[in-house]
Every structure is written in C-alpha cells, then in structure tokens.
Structure 1
Amino acid sequence: MATTADAPTLRALLGRRDLHLRLEGDASELDAALDAPIRWVHSSDLADPTPFLSEGLALLTTGTQFEGAEDESGVYRAYVRRLSARGVVGLGFGTEVVRDGIPPALAEACRDERMPLFEVPYRTPFIAVARAGAEAIAAQSYARRSWALAAQKAISLAALRPDGLGATLAELARQLDAWVGLYDAAGTLTREHPAALDTTAAAELGTEVGVVLRRGARAASSLRIGGTAFTLQTLGRGGHLRGVIAMAAGDLDQEGRGVVTAVVAMAGLALEQQQGLDRARTLLRAGLVNSLLGNDPALARRVARDLWGGLPPPPVLVAMTDAAAGRRDAVREWLELRADERRGGLFFGRGDDGLVLVVPASGSDLLEEFAERFDERMGVSAPAGYDAFAVAADQAQLARDRPGPGVTRFEDVAAAGVLSVPASPEARTVAEATLAPLRQHDREQGTSLLETVQVWLANDCSHEATARALGVHRHTVRARIATAEKALDSDLGSFAARADVWAALRLTS
C-alpha cells in the first residue's frame, strides 16, 4: 500500500538533522526496533511512568528520577524493563540538564532489553522532538487518507469496465500490492491477481474457503499459511453466500479496511445483479430441457449454439440428480464454469424431476466428478440420440432412484432384470396379499409352505433339487407344493401362476 509520506518511525525521527539526535549504540543491532511505528512522543521524569503510557510511544526523560542512584545498574535495569513491558519503542535522554552524557548503566540496560536509546542535546527542546513526531504522524495519517480516497476512486472506475468485477479485484490487488482471489459459491477459485499461488498455499486456502462457505454465515476471518497472512471476506447474505474474496494481506489499518469494505460491497452488488441474470439463464435452460424432452432438439440447438457453443454431439449420456435446493447456487456456478471450459461439451438445466445434465458418450468423467464433489446420487442413461431424449431421461431417473450413493448407470439396472426395479407401494401391497394364505397356513399349522415354495421356484421347480436343499424327501416337497396350491387357490403347474408368486416373493424379500 503506497503512501506519499515516510512512516513515523524512530529511524525517521533520528534522521531529522534539525533535531541533532544521536543514537546510542550500534544501529545494525536494532533494525526491527528502529523501524517500529511511533504512535506518539511523550516526556516524563517519573520513576514509573508506565501507568500513564500506551504502547508504541517514544519516551523522553532528563533523568531526574535517577538522582541519587549513581550507577546502580539495578535501578536502571528495572526502569527499562518496565518501559519495554509497556510497549515503549524508544527512550530519549536529555543531556546537560541533570547530568552530562547518558548514564552508562542506562545504556547497558537498554542494550540488554534491545531498547533504542538516543541522546537529545540541550539545544533541542523536548517540545521540538514531540512536534516532529506529531508532524510525521499527521503526515502519515493524511497520506493514508489520501491513498484510501484515490484507491476507492480507482476501484470505482474499474467497476465501470466491461468485466467490472474482475477489473475491481485487479485494482484492489494493485492498491494493496498483494495477491487477491475470488472464490465462487462452490468454493472454486474463479479469478486471481496478479499471479497464481503456490500449490500448497492454494490447497490450504481452498480448504479454509470451503469451511467458511459451508458455515454459511457472513464473516471476516484471517489465517496464516507458511509465512503469509491471508484475510477472507464473504460475499452475499448470511445463508445465501455468493463467494469469498481472499487477500494475501494480514492486519490492515483503518484506511485499508475501508478500501476492502468498498470492494466487498461492490462485489456483493455485482454478484446480486448477476443473480438476476442467472435466474433468467436458469429459466431458459429449463425451457430448453422441456424442448429436448419433447424429442424436438431444433430450438435447443439454435439457442445453445449462440450462447454456449452448441449442444454436446450425439450419442449423449443424459444424467439426472436431485441437487439439493440449499446448494443450487454452488452447483450452478460449478456447472457454468465447466460448461465454459468444455464449449459444447456440457448442457444442463432443471426439469420437473430434477437437474438434467447432458454430456457426450465419452464425457462420463465429468458426471463422476460432479457426483463426488457434491455427494449427490446420480442416474445415467444409456447412450442415445436427441430423438430419444425423453426415453434417456426416463432411464436416468430410474437409475437415480435406485438406492445407493454415487453414480448408477441404466445399463447396470437393466442387466439386473425387470424385477430389480424398485416397486411401488401398491405393488408391495398386492404381493403381501398374494402370499398371505401361505403365511397364515404356516402360522396356524406350523408348516413351512412359504419357504418350500420359495426354494422350489429358485430350483426351477425341481422336487429333487428342492428336497436336497431343504433336507427332506421329494415326496414331502410334492405334498407341500400341493398344499400350497390349495392355500393359494392356484395351479402352480402354470407359468403365469409361478411367475406371479415369484414376483411376490421378490417384492417382499
């Protein structure tokens, strides 16, 4: 963050030739202390002035509090330790007032505490040193305010460019002289300036952004990765976060925070305006899905060609997923990003029964990535042309509704047979009624008709195989099947009757 005035530090104060100040000791050993910012310059000859001081001060003294102490090192050491613990950044000793030169014991105590000690000669009034410090602080404050005003003006002008949001972030990065990145609602880094982060930092930062977004509350937070401090600012309303701005900047002063707040407000407004456009896009996509479900891809082809580079080339895979309402923004933004990357390689839109995704037959990797990222259950059709889109959508819905996580393909469902398809509650009710006579007979007579019929059907209605499986005589099996036919009032010698009972057993197992 550039300014037009030197920072008010002890080094800058000592550099004022008109004050004739002289640093006691080796400056190279005190680099960090000399460059610490000074918040004020104060004078006191109290033996313990710390109750009246705040951190970041430079203290001036004539040493009257040391009269009678001679060169007792303990007195000076205790004095300097109190100042250091209070956060005093430097001590100025006025010479030729009480004594000539700086007391050696005081110089030794300051060296031990790494407290910068400087001489203020008799000809330099303390008020001149204090005024110089105040002028430097005022100049720095004015420079910071001027910078903040200029930065906000530059950012406002950047917001008027065609890519207002991207230009705003680039300008913020320039003004802060730091890396700035924008993460969308899905936690994906969509913009960054000026250069990419290293892989480790990017991974850790992405994880933290994901945590912030899942929390769903508006917040500012900070973290340190390696030697770099990062600040995160959420965008959007609580419960409806639109993204996160991340900056490789640690503690910002009031002016810096003001500039960041302005950018966050503008970015939030831009994203809210974008939301209206996104809503219109969503409705358009939904309309095109309905057009495809009518097996009439002409309209969808024309619109998709102009807006998204065309529909995926046939044969295509049609996928269907629930895409929970609470994550629709994150899902949509992720899909929009992937659609931009794969021009004409992905189409998506919401139908009556869920979110529909269309990819080329070779693009199933994207479907797997989606299901894993959002932990969604997804059904995928067999490859199909657009003239059979409705059938493919039915296949995808059927596969999606199968129990189990992740991606389910229709080919796997079909390979398991017709009876593997989840039955309706009505079908289960009929199945229970079909088998009720067998259950009742077993319960009342202590028989095993239901088990025998099930094993008999599973062994292709072979009495001998059934007898071996049950460990009984084949005549026993024959007698039980005859009893079952009477209970069911059905001839199990016919294929239709056997199939009906077999289906009932599968539906109730």
Structure 2
Amino acid sequence: MKPTVQTLLDRPELGLGLLTPAVALPDGALDAPVVWAHSSDLADPTPFLDAGHVLLTTGTQFADGAAADAEFAESFVQRLRERGIAALGFGTEVIRAGTPETLIAACLAQGLPLFEVPYRTPFIAIARTVADLIAEDAYARQAWALSAQRAISLAALRPDGLSATLAELSHRLGAWVGLIDATGSLDREAPEGGLAQPALGEVVGEARSMLRRGQRASRTLLAAESTDAPQRMTLQTLGGGGALRGVLAIGDSAELDQAGREVVTSVIALAGLALEQNRDLDRARGHLRSGLLSGILAGDTTLAERVSAEMWGPLPEPPLRIMVTDAPLTQADRLTELLELRVEERGGRLFFGRDDEQYVLVVEESDAPLAEEIATEFELPVGVSDPVGGGAVAQAHEQALRALDRARESGAGVVNFDEISRQGVLAFLARTDARAVALATLAPLTEHDAANGTSLVVTTRTWLERGGQFDATAQALGVHRHTVRSRIALAERLLGRDLSGFHARADLWAALLAVE
C-alpha cells in the first residue's frame, strides 16, 4: 500500500507531531496517498510541486512580520490546497521556535494536515522514508501481480477454464466480474449474483452497444446499484474488430492500479483465446449444420435426425415454420451464437443452418416470436413461412424466401407469408421487373393527365374497383355518370384496347397495382 500522511505520523523514528487535530480535518485527509516529500522555503513553492506531495519548510517565508500576517498564511495554504498537496510539515528550531499560530489557523480553516518536524529529524529522513515506502509498495504490487497471473494461468487449465479464470480474477480483485457474450447476454459471472439490478442491466446494455458497433473498445460506466451508490464499472471488448467475441466487465476495485490492470490484460488475452477456440469449433459445427440443412430441405431427414439427436437434441416437431434471414459477415458470428443459445435453451427442437448468404431456421410453430427477436437485435429482414407438416419443408422454404424478398423491399423487419398470400396473386406483380412494363402500359393515360389536367388514371382505377359500374363510379367521384362514360371511352382510345372484356380489365388492374 502506498504511504499516507498517517503512515508518516505513525513512524516513531520521525517524531512528527500533528498540529491540526484529525477530527477537525476533512474525512480521509490523513489517508491521502503521499507520492513524494519536497522541501522549500519559497513564498510560493507550488510551481515545483505536484498533487500528493508533502511540503516541508523551515519557515523562512514566515520570518519577521510575515509570521503574524494571517492574510499571507491564508493565501500560502490556499495555493497548497489548490495544488493538491497532501500535507505540510513545519521544521522548528531552525529559523524560528514553534509553528506560527497564523499558519495553524489557516491549515485548520482550509482542511490541510499540518505536522511539526522536530529539530532532530532532518527533512532528508522524511524524504527517504517516503521513497522507501513507495519502493516497498511497488515491489509488493509487482509480487501480487505475478502471484495473481500465476493463479489465473493455472485456473485456465481447469476443465471449465474460462469460468475458473473469471472466478480467480474476481477473487484477486475483490470485485464482481462478468462476461457478456457476442449475443449481448450475460454468459457467466463471479461471484454468482454479485451485481444486482439496475446496475447489471446498465452494464449489459452498454456491452450490447459496444458489440453492435463492432470495434475494439473500452468503456467506463457508472452503474447505479441504488440511486445513492453508483459503482464504477470497466468494460473491455474481446476479440478483433469486426469479429467481437464478447465484453469483459469488471466492478470497481482498489486493486485496479497499474499492477491490477496488467492482471486484467492477461485475463483478456486468455479469455480472447478461449473464445477464439470456441469460434473455430462453432465454424466446424456450422459446416455440419449446413450439410444437414440441405438434406432437410430436400425432404431427407434421416441423417439430420440422427446427428441432431447426438449433438443438440431432437429436431422440431410439426407443425413447422421456416424462417430465412440474411447473413452479413459483420453479424454472422453474433447471430450464430444467439441461435446456438436458443437451441441449447430448447434442448434441440430448433434447427438452423447457413444456406449460401442466408440463415435458414426450422422451428416449431410456438417459436414464431424468434423472428422478431432476430429482426430487432440485428436489424435484419426476416421471412417466415406458413405452418406446414414435416413433408412440406421445401414448400415452406420457398414461402419464406418470397416473404424475405418482400421484407427487403418494404423495409419491414418481419414478413409472414400469409400476409402476402392474403393480398392475392396479383400482389406479386408489384415488383421491380413488372413496374417498368406497367408504367409503359399506363403511359398514354398518365401523359394525357399531365398535359391536359384530366384524371383518367383515377377514374379508370375507381371504375375497375367498382366492377365497371358507371353509376357507382360516378357517385364515388362526385361526377355525372355520362362524364365517367366519356372518360372511360377516351381511356380506351388512348390505350388502344377494349375494356369491356375481363382479360383487358385484369391486365389494366395489374398494371395499376404494379406502379403503386
């Protein structure tokens, strides 16, 4: 432990006497760490001092009339306080006998510890004591760091090395340690339940933000276990930029000095290595899943059922839904970890695999909300099929692909196939490839409306919506039925087609749908 003002006062060989009673000083004033001891008799020595120094003076600046000058003493002490001086030591019997009362009063008023240095104690003895204590502390901290790193390295060799490593780090720091995985979920912590809400929620929320950004980073967060007691938390990403594997969160600890940070750095390296090894295993499992998925989509589930039962659990039971989403490289690892976690939670009963640039999920009907979770967490489009029996997986896959196409076009997070099917077959004509044809088909009407201020497109659409009924169209548009008749006749001439037949009307209606 670094030396403090109290440490110096407790050294009998120095014989220092506190002139400002402890009860009259601010809380913790005597426990302030001392980083050096410096002697000066300048009227303003602050340019040569740093925070945490102890200033030693023989009082030359207080000789003659200055000793009785309270204003000088107050300004002198104020400058020391502003500089962050830990304490002031006054050497007596060198320039003057005793310590000036004005200086004692100024130190009491401004809360600066003041002690008297007897004539027999040279200032160099105080400086040497401080230096020796600092060296002892540095050696002790280095020994602590080596011992901690040795213990953590041994913990990493245990069966569950990652959990053992975090537990040992927590023990050495005397602080809560948590690992948030790539999905943004608390994967493990030490001690168990050591961080309560709402602080835990704040830590996990900040970790998720760091993971979404996808860049290596560290953050300091003041997480409130209660409104009166915020706790300082340190968060550090694990893994390389663009392929983050998680976030290590560490609670506030007095051990987090330079030596403590070195220990944390070693844990980050060990945890990163462990997670990278898991990543390689995940990739191997991913290739296996992709191969099994091909068989499932082809209708041959025999091999998939046997392998899945051995590795993850049974396949989902019908009725089934197929979900399809994109698999961008920046999101693939996080999405895989989320899906692996959901498989583990369900003891199987959910299968997924990668199919080219997409993820395909085979889920039970009750797992439909998983699509919304994926869309929200990863900001990806998701297409979902209708519920089907086990023999219609290929058909459901095609439905999910069509729903995914619509989700991409509309910008909607999740699109269910039944939303499309309810719109009818003509709704599929409203796609990019049909739009150009539709615009060309309607061009005679739109150009006439633009040039003459007419409303042939609106009239034609309203007329078709009402089954070609002139009276109903006129009532809807607020015009005479003869006006509607003349407009439709003009539209027929411009389009070059007779709209009295079903096929012509259906073709025109499809064109109107496609341009919307």
User: Could you state the TM-score of these two structures normalised by the residue count of structure 1?
Assistant: 0.88
For the Cα contact (< 8 Å) 1:217–1:239, is it kept in 2? yes
Moved more, 159-168 or 419-428: 419-428
In the alignment, what sits opposite 1:60?
56
Once the two structures are superposed, residues 134-167 of structure 1 have per-residue CA deviations (whole angstroms, 9 ceiling, x without a partner) of 2211111111000111111111112222222222
User: 1:408 and 2:404 equivalent?
Assistant: no
Residue in 2 aligned with 1:225? Answer: 223
CA distance in 1, matches of 2:181, 2:469: 64
The answer for the alignment partner of 2:266 in structure 1 is 262
1: CA distance, partners of 2:70 / 2:456: 105
Decide whether the 8 Å contact of 1:441 with 1:487 is kept in 2. no
CA distance in 2, matches of 1:144, 1:187: 34
**Does 1:102 pair with 2:99?**
yes
Name which of 364, 371, 377 aligns with 2:368. 364
Shift of 1:347: 2.2
AA paired with 2:21?
D
In the TM superposition, what is the alpha-carbon distance from 1:70 to its structure 2 partner?
3.6
| C-alpha contact (below 8 Å) 1:452/1:481 kept by paired residues | no
Q: State the secondary structure of the residue aligned to 1:18.
A: coil
RMSD value, Cα: 3.2
Question: Secondary structure at the residue paired with 1:421?
Answer: helix
Q: Which residue identity is paired with 2:320?
A: V
- Residue 279 of structure 1 aligns to a residue whose secondary structure is helix
> What is the rounded CA distance, in whole Å, between the counterparts of 1:75 and 1:482 in structure 2?
103
Once structures 1 and 2 are overlaid, which stretch shifts more, 247-256 or 171-180? 247-256
C-alpha distance 353-213 of structure 1, shift in aligned 2 (>3 A): closer
Deviation at 1:334, TM superposition (A): 2.1
Residue equivalent to 1:11: 6
Q: Aligned with 2:321: secondary structure?
A: strand
Gaps of 5+ in 2: 225-229
Match of 2:246 in 1: 243
What residue in structure 1 maps to residue 227 of structure 2? none
**Partner SS, residue 179 of structure 2:** strand
1:251-400 to structure 2, matched below 5 A, reads: 252-352=256-356, 354-400=358-404
Q: Which residue of 2 aligns with 1:148?
A: 145
SS of the residue corresponding to residue 223 of structure 1 reads strand
- Distance in 1 between the 2:288 and 2:445 partners? 56
Stretch moving more, 62-71 or 85-94 = 62-71
Higher alpha-carbon deviation: 374-383 or 347-356: 347-356
- What's the offset of the Cα at 1:9? 0.8
1:306 partner letter: E
Structure 1 pair 81–318 and aligned structure 2 pair: CA distance change class (3 A): same
Task: Indicate which of 66, 70, 75 corresponds to 2:72.
Answer: 75
Task: Find the aligned partners of 1:454 and 1:239 in 2 and give their Cα distance.
Answer: 51
For the Cα contact (< 8 Å) 2:315–2:349, is it kept in 1?
yes
* TM-aligned CA deviation for residue 439 of structure 1: 7.5
Aligned partner letter, 1:266: L
Per the alignment, in what secondary structure is the counterpart of residue 241 of structure 1?
A: strand
The question of whether the paired residues in 1 share the 8 Å contact of 2:24 and 2:108 is answered with: no
- Residue type at the aligned position of 2:177: V
Paired residue type of 1:22: G
Once the two structures are superposed, residues 333-357 of structure 1 have per-residue CA deviations (whole angstroms, 9 ceiling, x without a partner) of: 2222222222224322222462212
| Change over 3 Å in CA distance of 1:151–1:492 after alignment to 2 | same
The answer (yes or no) to whether the contact 1:308–1:340 under 8 Å persists in 2 is yes
CA shift in 2, pair 1:490/1:46, >3 Å = closer
Kept in 1, the 8 Å contact 2:179–2:188? The answer is: yes
Identical aligned residues as a percent: 51
Gaps of 5+ in 1: 1-5
Q: How far did 1:460 drift?
A: 3.0
- What does residue 36 of structure 1 align with? 32
Partner of 1:459: 466
Output one character per residue of 1:168-198: Cα deviation in whole Å (capped at 9) or x when no partner. 2222222111112222333332222223423
- Which amino acid in structure 2 is aligned with residue 44 of structure 1? S
Query: Which has the larger displacement, 371-380 or 174-183?
Result: 371-380
Report the residue type matching 2:55 in the other structure.
L
- Asked if 1:115 corresponds to 2:112, the answer is yes
Distance 2:377 2:514 in 1: 34
SS in 2 for 1:232: strand
- How many residues are matched? 503
Deviation string, structure 1 residues 353-376 (Cα, Å, up to 9, x no partner)? 622122211122222222222232
8 Å CA contact retained: 2:175, 2:253: no
Q: Deviation of residue 13 (structure 1)?
A: 1.7
In 1, Cα distance between the equivalents of 2:429 and 2:504?
22
Is the contact between residue 466 and residue 474 of structure 1 (CA under 8 Å) also seen in structure 2?
no
CA separation of 1:218/1:427 partners in 2, compared to 1, >3 Å: closer, same or farther? Answer: closer
Match of 2:46 in 1: 50
- Any idea what the Cα deviations from partners look like across 1:248-286, whole Å, max 9, x if unmatched? 237832212211221222222222332222222222222
Q: Within 1, Cα distance between the matches of 2:371 and 2:394?
A: 19
What amino acid is aligned across from residue 180 of structure 1 in structure 2? V
State yes or no: 1:131 paired with 2:138: no
Helix, strand or coil: the match of 1:292?
helix
Is the CA contact (8 Å cut-off) linking 2:473 and 2:484 kept in structure 1? no
Change (3 A) 1:257 1:479: closer
Q: Secondary structure at 1:17's aligned position in 2?
A: coil
TM-score (norm 2): 0.87
Letter in 2 for 1:373: E
Kept in 2: contact 1:296–1:387 (CA 8 A): no
Q: Does residue 178 in structure 1 map to residue 185 in structure 2?
A: no
Query: What is the CA-CA distance between 1:11 and the residue it aligns to?
Result: 0.9
Please tell me whether residue 211 in structure 1 is matched to residue 209 in structure 2.
Answer: yes
Superposed displacement of residue 389, structure 1: 0.8
Whole-angstrom distance in 2 between the partners of 1:475 and 1:20 = 114
- 1:3 — aligned with what? none
1:313 & 1:147 partners in 2: Cα distance? Answer: 56
SS of aligned partner of 1:208: helix
- Shift of the alpha carbon at 1:388? 1.1
2: CA distance, partners of 1:483 / 1:136: 99
Question: Secondary structure in 1 aligned to 2:198?
Answer: helix
Instruction: Give the partner amino acid of 1:25.
Output: T
Give 1:89 deviation, angstroms. 0.7
Once structures 1 and 2 are overlaid, which stretch shifts more, 163-172 or 106-115? 163-172
